[in-house]
Amino acid sequence: MPGKILVVEDNLDMRELVHLYLTREGFLVITASDGREGLYMANAEQPDLIITDINMPGLDGLEMVKQLRAQPAFKDLPILVFTAFGIVERDNAIRAGATRAADKPVEFESLIDEVNELLDLHKKQ
């Protein structure tokens, strides 16, 4: 089974595009439109991987990652963060607890590679 992925992204077009690409690769994809909904969906669905944007209204991606990492169930869960704001934001994401951070715009071929690699690493833990 390829895995269940939670995508947290406030931009509807981007959220639907990521959902489409991951679904075409065989992943079960659930989505949330902001950090609060992301926390709820993570707890309700127990995904194998979370992909999130940083800059979202309300609860942003960094705060969501911090709150997830505070819960034992999400201590080791792979979390991939995307940002359009470069290296400083990527560093902030890693300090907040993200497993990896990458730049927007998303290149979907590399996204699939990254997702597979993170899921493989998680299975080995």
What is the pLDDT confidence band of residue 1, given thresholds at 50, 70 and 90?
low
Instruction: Work out how many domains the chain is built from and give that number.
Output: 1
In CATH, what number is assigned to the domain containing residue 77?
3.40.50.2300
* Structural domain of 115: 4-124
Percent of the chain whose pLDDT exceeds 70: 96
Residue 116 is which amino acid?
Answer: N
Task: Give the closest residue to 63 by CA, choosing from 24, 106, 96, 19.
Answer: 96
pTM higher than 0.85 for the full model? yes
